């Protein structure tokens, strides 16, 4: 993946130098002209250069003379996902991301990304992985390799494919290895922060330590889940339902090999011959409004189930999102072995 600053050209750059930049960008040949603070001034393509030369511009003239002054962009934190979809479907491939001071903070390429979701991601990666010992005696479970890269790298890659670029990784056991491996994410156009648990805080308690979320929506996920979940569809469903909290659920079917009787006061009212019942289990992936995180007790042991129970009791809208794709919780040695086989055929 190309670093977004390769698309940036300083104002007053000669057209000749701008052409060299476009040449290096090859099939991604669009540049964005910025001031000294990286504020967007305009865009430049090969077509803009040709039109400028035809009109008499010289190669030593400043590029500012031939740029498009009102390029399309996405405002970071913009909740209008339909705008993102419109750009993508109308083949506007490369779009700058602006902060509220009009500074370019990223450039996304829909030739590589599936979407650009306005979501902070919290990855829970502080567990000891005791059921996977001895594999986890010297390596934290999120860094165990599935195929050719760690479990957590598969997760971050999948999430980033949907344009999520603000990450918070909660760490404890051997967390310094995770921090060293991923760093600040800058080389992959990501912003990665680390939240250290001095002591275990449950499955969501450490989220209370984050006070500077960037977006209005927060996705919390276990680090040891492999999935090809469509995060855009998950987000759209969340918005359409005006939910406060959503949980990815895994359908689990139970086939009963006998007729099941439905009774009332000892009387048989009905029966079903060898029925199949579908139940839904917790998939360990949650999406919530940012204000929901404010109700998580500070520095206290707190599980996601505690949060869901409180939200339901308060009359908040808690949504189930049944997953139709691939999902695997890597908790036991047999799960780890299955992941090694699945990774050969499942696209993440």
What is the per-residue pLDDT across 8-39, written as a single tens digit (0 to 9) for each? 999 999 999 999 999 898 888 899 999 999 99
- For residue 116, the Cα-to-chain-centroid distance in whole angstroms is 9
Instruction: Please return the burial class of 229, using the count of CB atoms within 10 Å of its CB with bins 0-12, 13-18 and 19+.
Output: buried
| For residues 66-84, average pLDDT | 88
Tokens representing 87 are 């750009």
Q: Find the mean pLDDT for residues 235-262.
A: 88
Superfamily holding 4-109: CBS-domain (3.10.580.10)
Task: Tell which CATH architecture fits domain 119-342.
Answer: Alpha-Beta Complex (3.90)
**154-190 per-residue burial string, b: 16 or more CB within 10 A, e: under 16:** bbbebbbebbbbbbbbbbbbbbebbeeebeebeeebb
For 294-347, the pLDDT digits (tens) are 999 988 899 999 999 999 999 999 999 999 889 988 888 889 888 888 888 887
The whole-number pLDDT of residue 134 equals 86
Residue 161 near residue 137 (C-beta atoms within 8 A): no
Delimit the domains of the chain by residue range.
4-109, 119-342
Task: Report the pLDDT value the prediction gives residue 313, as an integer from 0 to 100.
Answer: 94
Percentage of the chain with pLDDT > 90? 55
DSSP string computed for 293-317 = HTTSPTTS---HHHHHHHHHHTT--
CA distance 114 to 72: 18
Between 271 and 245, the higher pLDDT residue: 245
> Rounded distance, CA 22 to CA 30, Å?
6
- Residue 49, token pair as written in the block: 């250069």
How many contiguous H segments (helices) and E segments (strands) does the chain have? 9, 19
Distant-in-sequence, close-in-space partners of 180: CB < 8 Å, separation ≥ 6: none
This prediction has a pTM of 0.87
């Amino acid at each position: 993946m190309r670093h977004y600053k390769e698309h940036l050209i300083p104002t007053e750059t000669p057209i000749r130098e701008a052409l060299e930049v476009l040449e290096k960008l090859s099939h991604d040949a669009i540049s964005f002209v910025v001031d000294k603070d990286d504020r967007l001034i305009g865009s430049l393509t090969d077509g803009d250069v040709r039109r400028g030369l035809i009109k008499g511009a010289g190669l030593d003239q400043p590029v500012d003379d031939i740029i498009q002054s009102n390029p399309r962009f996405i405002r970071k934190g913009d909740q209008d996902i339909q705008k993102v979809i419109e750009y993508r479907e109308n083949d506007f491939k490369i779009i700058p991301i602006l902060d509220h001071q009009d500074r370019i903070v990223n450039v996304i390429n829909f030739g590589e990304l599936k979407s650009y979701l306005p979501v902070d991601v919290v990855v829970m990666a502080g567990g000891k992985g005791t059921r996977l010992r001895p594999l986890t005696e010297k390596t934290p479970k999120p860094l165990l390799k599935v195929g050719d890269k760690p479990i957590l790298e598969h997760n971050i890659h999948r999430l980033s494919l949907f344009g999520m670029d603000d990450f918070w990784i909660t760490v404890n056991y051997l967390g310094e290895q995770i921090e060293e491996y991923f760093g600040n994410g800058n080389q992959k156009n990501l912003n990665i922060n680390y939240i250290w648990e001095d002591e275990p805080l449950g499955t969501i308690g450490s989220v209370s330590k984050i006070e500077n979320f960037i977006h209005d929506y927060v996705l919390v996920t276990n680090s040891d889940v492999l999935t090809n979940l469509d995060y855009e569809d998950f987000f759209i469903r969340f918005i359409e339902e005006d939910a406060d909290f959503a949980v990815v659920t895994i359908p689990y079917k139970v086939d009963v090999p006998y007729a099941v009787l439905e009774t009332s006061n000892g009387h048989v009212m009905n029966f079903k011959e060898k029925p199949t019942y579908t139940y839904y289990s917790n998939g360990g992936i949650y999406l919530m409004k940012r204000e929901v995180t404010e109700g998580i007790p500070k520095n206290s042991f707190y599980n996601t189930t505690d949060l869901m129970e409180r939200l339901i009791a308060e009359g908040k809208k808690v949504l189930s999102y049944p997953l139709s794709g691939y999902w695997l919780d890597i908790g036991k040695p047999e799960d780890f072995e299955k992941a090694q086989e699945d990774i050969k055929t499942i696209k993440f």
